[in-house]
Amino acid sequence: GDTTLTRTNILVGEVWVGCGQSNMDMLTRLAVANDEALAAIVAAAPCPQIRQFHVKEGWRVADAKEIGEFGALVLPFGLRLYK
């Protein structure tokens, strides 16, 4: 037909799943005060190629606005995979 569908901000590549018990819920913004390495990752944001999917909220981009809402245990792992 004559309908055009446009999609933007699409990434192609691997998807890694990080899941576990309640300790996986610790947010980066709550952990940075006690973790210098994690604080350095947050300070280096944005990392727009790193995304996190939250079941209730959808996809998040590791930018300055959202990186604090990433899981504190999976963000360093994701950054390491990206590099």
pLDDT digits (tens, 9 = 90+) for 9-65: 899 988 888 877 776 778 999 999 999 999 998 998 888 899 998 888 899 999 989
Token readout for 40 is: 């350095």
Residue indicated by tokens 């504190």:
72
State residue 39's pLDDT score.
93
State residue 24's pLDDT score.
75
The count of C-alpha atoms lying within 13 angstroms of the C-alpha of 24, restricted to the half-sphere facing its C-beta, is 9
Q: Distances from the Cα of 59 to the Cαs of 3, 9, 37, 39, in angstroms?
A: 26, 11, 24, 22
Token readout for 34 is: 């006690």
State residue 21's pLDDT score.
75
37 φ/ψ angles, rounded to the nearest 5 degrees: -65, -40
Give the integer Cα–Cα distance in Å for 31 and 29: 6
Q: What is the pLDDT of residues 66-76, one digit of tens each?
A: 999 998 988 99
